Amino acid sequence: MSKKQLLGSLWAEGKISRRDFMAGAAAIGLTASSATALMASSAKAATPKKGGRYRMGLGHGSTTDSFDPATYENGFATNLVFTHMNHLTEVNNDGSLIPELAESWEPSSDARTWTFKLRKGIEFHNGKTMDADDVLASINHHRGKDTKSGAKGILDPIEAIKKDGNDTVVFSLKDGNADFPFLVSDYHLAIFPSKDDKIIWEGGIGTGPYKVESFEPGVRAFLTKNPNYWKEGRGHFDEVEMLSIIDGNARQNALTTGEVDAIDRVDTKTVRLMARVKGVKIQESTGTLHYTFPMDTRVAPFDNVDVRLALKYAMNREEILKKVLHGHGALGNDHPISTSNRYHAGDLPQRGYDPDKAKHHLKKAGAEGLTVSLSAADAAFGGAVDAAVLYKEHAAKAGITIDLIREPNDGYWSNVWMKKPWCVCYWGGRPTEDWMFSTAYAGGANWNDTFWKNDRFDTLLKAARAELDEAKRGAMYAEMQGIVHNDGGVVIPMFANHIHGLSDKVMHDDKVAGNWEMDGSKSAERWWFG
Amino acid sequence: MSQILTMVAQRLALGLLTLIAVSLIIFLAVELLPGDLAEAILGQAALPDTVAAFRRELRLDLPPHERYFEWLGAMLQGDMGRSLANNREISELIGVRFGNTLFLAAYAAIIAVPLALFLGVLAALYRNSLYDRAINVVTLSSISSPEFFVAYILIAWLANSLGWFPSIANVNQDTDLLERLYRAALPAMTMTLVVVAHMMRMTRASIINLLASPYIEMANLKGLSRMRVIVHHALPNAWAPIINVIVLNLAFLIVGVVVVEVVFVYPGLGQLLIDSVSKRDIPVVQASCLIFAVTYILLNLTADVLSILTNPRLMHPK
């Protein structure tokens, strides 16, 4: 048996994970694409079946939704884009990065220049062949001074993009970044067909597993199978129907009465009851979604690290996790890196509820009898106000008075978040440490919602970003998690599970991605009817 | 008859002025809300320069009065404009939604109006009987419960337990009429339950009011049956108030059913309006509100005209 055959049969019998498989394939010198082909040919025990109309009930969607990738803003948009579009790279359901429209990529030794080889002969739904110009236009749509894109901040590190022939794209970065291929998997950065260096987004034409037949923003999208789909072993359904069902009860009823096959955001209060319904199963995945209480560290009293520590010790996380999420999540440790990230610092001690320590730090700060205002609204996350009320009670035992300000949901992100000194917030999280830290923790970063600046942290961030040695990077990221944990301006009580309700006949791989809801928003591509 | 035509013309002209006033009020109200479309759409991902670029593209950086008059000018030429958020034609965006709303309103009205009249006449006929009391209790309880509560009860009973109707009204342009009626059955029932009481009580009250008049007494003395007295003698004189209530309820069925739309995921105009307000998509808000305003103005006018037509004294004044 050759090494290749051995690897294939190990995978087929489920003895190794997809990640180990890819690592093994790399070790015996297979390219990523032939490894994927090998994996598909080594039939797994549960071979996905083809066919059927897959109906999803999603708790998002607005009449203002658009095909324009610059303005994707909610879960309906992410589910839709991952159903009809492709990206250069893909975060797989085990959290690893695999090639999508890019066949392979190569960094320069300082990780500043990244060369992406594109897959050849991929056709858009309208028959146009995808080439380097399309990639350039698709990325540039989010760059430059006239862009309105939500992804502009992510692409800030890019200095220049150029093509090298029709199948090669070269990115030059301002600084080295070992995780750069992860960045281009962001849902905004879908590859659209282009004309004269501008993408044509109006018709929703992509290279993805399904073609958009109709899209009524805020109501419904209907897609049919792309018969030319290039990816092996994905895109099993004949038709996909996505319904926007914002009301939680309506969504759950739609599933229990068989109107839809899968729903997202099952209410944690009723998930126990849902699990008992015949023909319905519950699927939970722990990902990077976490809830935060960011303080403006530039203003008193939050500029004092002891006050910040006192507030961190003054919260009973277990109770909030139990009462707000009904246990469907994991405890947070005042840093944003989840257990599903590669370099999670597991040996960092879990911070507990300790009113005495909180009092000690208050005394040290000379701030006994502290009174602070906390702005909260359920726009941050469902149950944010309840969590804030519980926190207020916990803090009272440590001698801290929290004045709770109930803010309106409407306009929360423009009027409260990063405007009020202390508020409630959520982060969908990012697949890599560098992405998360660079977005919201680096000194002066666009979305640094605590306005926190720590020189040691910033130095490490830059060094780790360009470091290609895994062990050294791991050590740096562990230290950085410790710095945020002790010095950072954010209280992070918990990570929340994504909870989905599925009909019994919906099948999926053993691993379900946690980076976004619904298997990384790729359920239509990855799942099938058993 | 010419008097009626004059009145209709006058009222339509006034209506146009009302619409302009309404559009101005709505524009100012949306302007007063904090934030604008660029901030609302970009949300947590907003950066100062992306928001600025977004505003430039949508011309939101122009002063409010310029934007208002630009919009008004286009509107007067019949151009509703495009949605700021996704650049779709508003007429196209609203057309389908408004069609759905009208369909549901008509569906509910076709059930509710005859039912309410029938129940109301019977209640007047058997005044203070067990039937009268029972029907009052039932209709008043259904109108007193919030719509979403009525809706959830119907879903739990007719969709979840019995499985007769779908729990969500998933209709689109390809749905044929029968399928559409089946899928929209629960929302139509909910709305029927919500509006019947008002119309039924008004029918009953107006008829009972008239039953004390001398000419009814005369009819009774002539020995006519109670049914004949009520349907042929009392009802024609009771039409004016009944029509007013019916029309008011029709207007409600068109403009006031957001909650029902949300619970049954019915793609009507209400949900469109809410989304557009929360994203500050002013042209869409304006267009939806104007449609609602036109509905009210036309229905009110219809009510007045019908009241006159059913009343000979108003038709032929001395």
A252 with A104, same domain: the answer is no
pLDDT computed for residue A21 by the predictor: 64
A217 with A257, same domain: the answer is yes
User: What does each C-alpha distance from A461 to A436, A468, A486, B170, B318 come to in angstroms?
Assistant: 11, 13, 17, 49, 92
Q: What is the ipTM of this complex?
A: 0.84
Q: Please determine, for residue B315, whether its predicted confidence score (pLDDT) is greater than 80.
A: no
CATH code of A152's domain: 3.90.76.10
pLDDT computed for residue A6 by the predictor: 60
A346 with A395, same domain: the answer is yes
A378 with A481, same domain: the answer is yes
Nearest CA in chain A to B281: A64
Which pLDDT tens digit goes with each residue over A392-423? 999 999 999 999 999 988 888 888 999 999 99
Mark yes or no for CB contact A218/B44 under 8 Å: no
Last residue of a domain, one of A159, A178, A199: A199
Which pLDDT tens digit goes with each residue over B183-238? 999 999 999 999 998 899 989 998 888 888 899 889 889 988 888 888 888 888 88
Q: Between residues 69 and 108 of chain B, which touch chain A (CB distance below 8 Å)? A: 83, 85-88, 93, 96
pLDDT, greater one: A445 or A422 = A422
CA pair distance B153, B135, nearest whole angstrom: 19
- Domain presence at residue A72: no
Q: Please determine, for residue B318, whether its predicted confidence score (pLDDT) is greater than 80.
A: no
Nearest to B90 by CA among B248, B284, B313: B284
pTM: predicted TM-score of the whole model, two decimal places: 0.84
A-chain CB neighbours of B88 within 8 Å are: 217
- Domain presence at residue A68: no
Q: Once rounded to an integer, what is the mean pLDDT over residues B79-88?
A: 84
Q: How far is A483 from chain B (nearest CA, A)?
A: 25
Which pLDDT tens digit goes with each residue over A495-511? 999 999 999 999 999 88
A37 with A161, same domain: the answer is no
Which pLDDT tens digit goes with each residue over A144-196? 888 989 888 889 889 999 999 999 999 999 989 999 999 999 999 999 999 99
- Domain presence at residue A375: yes
Q: In the sheet where A168-173 sits, what is the strand order?
A: A102-107, A113-118, A168-173, A158-163
- Domain presence at residue A122: yes
- Domain presence at residue A110: yes
The residue range of the domain holding A241 is 53-62+208-286+498-529
Nearest to A243 by CA among A379, A54, A70: A54
Q: Between residues 174 and 213 of chain B, which touch chain A (CB distance below 8 Å)? A: none
Q: Once rounded to an integer, what is the mean pLDDT over residues A293-320?
A: 95
- Find where tokens 């560098």 sit: A434
Residue A515: which pLDDT band, with cuts at 50, 70 and 90?
confident
Mark yes or no for CB contact B276/A148 under 8 Å: no
Mark yes or no for CB contact A254/B263 under 8 Å: no
Query: Into how many domains does chain A fold?
Result: 4
The answer to whether A152 and A143 are in contact (CB under 8 A) is yes
CATH code of A408's domain: 3.10.105.10
- Find where tokens 């149950």 sit: A383
CATH code of A516's domain: 3.40.190.10
A325 with A470, same domain: the answer is yes
- Domain presence at residue A383: yes
CA angle centred on A488, ends A483 and A494, rounded to 5°: 100
Q: How far is B199 from chain A (nearest CA, A)?
A: 30
Which pLDDT tens digit goes with each residue over B108-159? 999 999 999 999 989 988 888 999 999 999 998 988 988 889 999 999 999 9
Residue A473: which pLDDT band, with cuts at 50, 70 and 90?
very high
Nearest CA in chain A to B38: A148
A351 with A454, same domain: the answer is yes
From A153, A245, A425, residue closest to B265, measured CB to CB: A245
pLDDT computed for residue A44 by the predictor: 47
Residue A279: which pLDDT band, with cuts at 50, 70 and 90?
very high
A456 with A508, same domain: the answer is no
- Domain presence at residue A156: yes
A303 with A380, same domain: the answer is yes
Q: Between residues 435 and 454 of chain A, which touch chain B (CB distance below 8 Å)? A: 446-447
Does B214 contact chain A (CB < 8 Å)? Answer: no
* Cα-Cα end-to-end distance for chain B: 14
Q: Please determine, for residue A253, whether its predicted confidence score (pLDDT) is greater than 70.
A: yes
A376 with A524, same domain: the answer is no
A254 with A268, same domain: the answer is yes
Strand partners, A116: A105, A169
Q: Once rounded to an integer, what is the mean pLDDT over residues A342-346?
A: 90
Mark yes or no for CB contact A146/B53 under 8 Å: yes
DSSP string over B263-317: HHT---HHHHHHHHHHTT-HHHHHHHHHHHHHHHHHHHHHHHHHHHHT-HHHHS-
Q: Please determine, for residue A38, whether its predicted confidence score (pLDDT) is greater than 60.
A: no
Q: Residue A153: CA atoms inside 13 Å, Cβ hemisphere, count?
A: 22
Does A5 contact chain B (CB < 8 Å)? Answer: no
CB atoms within 10 A of CB A334: 25
The answer to whether A178 and A465 are in contact (CB under 8 A) is yes
Three-state SS for B131?
helix
Q: Please determine, for residue A41, whether its predicted confidence score (pLDDT) is greater than 60.
A: no
Does B6 contact chain A (CB < 8 Å)? Answer: no
Q: Please determine, for residue B259, whether its predicted confidence score (pLDDT) is greater than 70.
A: yes
From A71, A151, A249, residue closest to B41, measured CB to CB: A71
- Domain presence at residue A75: no
A355 with A428, same domain: the answer is yes
Strand partners, A169: A116, A163
